[in-house]
Amino acid sequence: MSATELRGEACSLAPDPSFAPARARIARALFVRAVAGLPGHPLTLVMPDGLVAVTGEPGAPTMTVHRESFFHRLGTDRRIGFGEAYMAGDWSADDLPAALAAFAASVDRLAPAPLRWLGRAIERRLPMAEENTISGAAANIARHYDLSNELFALFLDDTMTYSCAVFEPGDTLESAQRRKHEALAELAGVRPGDHVLEIGTGWGGMAVHLAATRGCRVTSATISREQAALARERIAAAGLADRVEVILRDYREIEGRYDRVLSVEMFEAVGERYWPGFFACCDRYLRPGGAVALQTITMPHGRYRATRRVYGWVHKYIFPGGLIPSREAIDRALAAGSALRVVHANEIGPHYATTLRLWRERFLRRSDAVTELGFDATFRRMWEFYLAYCEAGFATGAIGDVQLRLARP
């Protein structure tokens, strides 16, 4: 599915003509059992006939299933069908992040043990078409980041930063993003006169901060044409074109050596097979005495091992070719590909729940503007679900976010 296809009616989800009543009935029974078995009864479940199947604790969010097709989608492909059902309007919740958090907190216990084993055996595997070769990575990145610069501008702050912020009391989203930029600059030890390599430009916020506050030169590499174009405009508008160069180049094709290397939430798009090679590149680009500041989303090692080859809703609709590592997996990839090691770590995952909440609220407030850009109602529900899904993951600790300083011992 291309970025163009995701813009409009091609994203609509028609009912599946192969509806299987028996499979839907089984999915219905298992889903009600799973919700009823959630520890602490954190969710109220209302069925299509209006009856309450599960009563949650006082104040619990309510999930309402509007159509029986929800159970068919769930029975057909539980990992993808749950999100697709929300996109299609088969279910809703009065507090979507809280409803998703109820599942995220118990994600490994939603099905009975025998069915968990069976589910792992039959789950769809990551398609070879999304392999992160140089050409494959460019295609994967284009599907998300080249959707529309205007779309991202509707919900990001003025720095156009699309990664976890770091909040202190009284911070706005923008000031929290600048705090994150400064924390990474400090972590890498960027000094005046340094030549810094940034792997993953975004829309130029980190590069602008480094050049403006640290007096350094920045070479920033991206494989998103849309991001590169806008980042160059923003850098020029900031009067920093003489200090910041944006290159349209894969991380494997960069030339030269640098005093510091920074990469902010790009590592999740590298792909497990290429992690050692990524760190080998960082090692090769880094001058003696330099350091790497890497910010990446993480998950617990057991969860990473269980899902590392499973194809899910996020792969299909949001981040094709993506994979979130564990800290253990990062350490192993570092040892396999480079002389670099983790010498300092800051866990900032809880800040991501706040960041995502603010993005989601901004996105929903600007829904009319999203429509004017050519994105239909199904797309808007898809992005609402994506932002709430991630918010729930960080709020419950199912996923985290870490800033790492990498250096040669």
Residues designated as active site: 390
Rounded (to 5) percent helix, strand, coil in the chain: 50, 15, 35
Distance CA 252, CA 390 (A): 29
H or E, element range at 47 = none
Q: Are the beta carbons of 323 and 329 closer than 8 angstroms? A: no
CA distance 389 to 312: 13
Residue 363 near residue 383 (C-beta atoms within 8 A): yes
The whole-angstrom separation of Cα 297 and Cα 308 is 14
What's the rounded Cα separation, in Å, for the pair 88 and 34? 22
Dihedral sign from CA coordinates of 235, 208, 394, 156: negative
Residues facing residue 219 across a β-bridge: 197, 245
Strand partners, 297: 401
Q: Which residues contact 230 (CB under 8 A, 6 or more apart)?
A: 149, 160, 203, 204
